[in-house]
Amino acid sequence: MGVDPAVGQMLDRFADRAVGAAPHVHQHAGGEHDFSVVIAVCVHGDEVGPLPAALRLVEDLRAGRRRYGGRLAVVVGNPAATRAGVRYLDSDLNRVFVERPPDDIEGRRARDLSPLLDDADVLLDLHQTSMPTRSAFWTLPWTRRDGRWVAALRAAPVWMARPSGQVFSPGTCCLDEYVRNRGRVGLTLEMSQRGLDRATEQAAARVLDRLLRLADGVGRGALDLDDEAGEVTVLETIHVQPFSDPALALRAGLVNLQPVAAGTRLSPPGAPVLRSPATGLVAFPKYPPRDEAGRAVGPLPGELYRLAAPLSAPPEEVWGG
């Protein structure tokens, strides 16, 4: 299947309207306060669902239909991969915000974007999952600082959390990690299964509107995030299944946040038997291409799936922070 022509058209419109220090970056200065927000979409090139909302925000800012009193950057993370309809071209952009990025397409893009992230008080990075999900969910380590924004944004009922400071993938650095490492707020929201759809566009527009309203209030010293908080269920990972054998496989139809009981068989007939070691929620199930013998082909992901469950106590009691 080719790239949806609408995606290329949106990239062209974004590039035409954006005014910023790097391609496909729009920077705005409201002149009323210094609170700096960075919004990122399409960091993985095929996760295009939030792109229409980001484009509309840029157009509304340029036309004066939308106001934000502080500093704002709206970023299409990996436009080259988005135009090609792939996750990335050379390296995963969401892994190369390191001291020495690779000298390739994504590494050069990371170097271009790093100064914007250095300036951010809050980063909101909008992503989509490869498989369907029962709801949107946050994925980032627990801290009280980040948790106040997660709760106030009210964009997802679930937070896939981990202890403060725990990296997502050793030896790499994501956008949100890069920002958090500088003592600022870095948030990643998984919105829906990847692709364009009206529901994702509308949800992205809502969270962007709320983010800027909250940031304006914080920037002016007129808003307490705790007064805006909604309910969020905090989950922790209780099991990670290594993808240690190409014969390992998941039965068809598992989706993100799908509940399973302890002992439930998760593998299909003919594959090595995998059972859920506990009651919980499936997260990040992998379905790679397979050969005629049913063995996964290509580089294997590090894990086949994760299992998550609600924390047994409030996160500040479990993890501090």
At 299, the pLDDT band (50, 70, 90 cuts) reads: confident
Neighbouring C-beta atoms of residue 171, cutoff 10 Å: 7
* Chain mean pLDDT for the chain: 96
- pLDDT value for 165: 76
What does the block give as tokens for 44? Answer: 């993985």
- pLDDT value for 3: 79
CATH number assigned to the domain covering 5-228: 3.40.630.10
The identity of residue 313, as a single letter, is A
pLDDT above 90: percentage of residues in the chain: 93
Q: Which helix (H) or strand (E) holds 319?
A: helix 315-319
Question: Edge to edge, what strands does the sheet with 137-139 contain?
Answer: 25-29, 71-76, 36-41, 122-129, 185-193, 137-139, 158-161, 233-242, 303-310, 280-283, 259-260
Domain spans in the chain, listed from the N-terminal domain onward: 5-228, 243-321
Q: Report the alpha-carbon distance of residue 318 to residue 27 in Å, rounded.
A: 39
What does the block give as tokens for 305? Answer: 């799936």
* Residue, of 167 and 57, whose pLDDT is higher: 57
154: which strand partners?
none
For residue 217, pLDDT over 80 is answered with yes
At 166, the pLDDT band (50, 70, 90 cuts) reads: confident
pLDDT tens for each residue of 218-277: 999 999 999 999 999 999 999 999 999 999 999 999 999 999 999 999 999 999 999 999
Q: Provide the 3-class DSSP secondary structure of residue 282.
A: strand
Helix, strand and coil content of the chain, in percent to the nearest 5, comes to 30, 25, 45
pLDDT tens for each residue of 23-81: 999 999 999 999 999 999 999 999 999 999 999 999 999 999 999 999 999 999 999 99
Q: What is the mean pLDDT of residues 168-186?
A: 91
For residue 321, pLDDT over 80 is answered with no
**Residue showing tokens 């035409």:** 16
- pLDDT value for 155: 99
Q: What is the mean pLDDT of residues 187-202?
A: 98
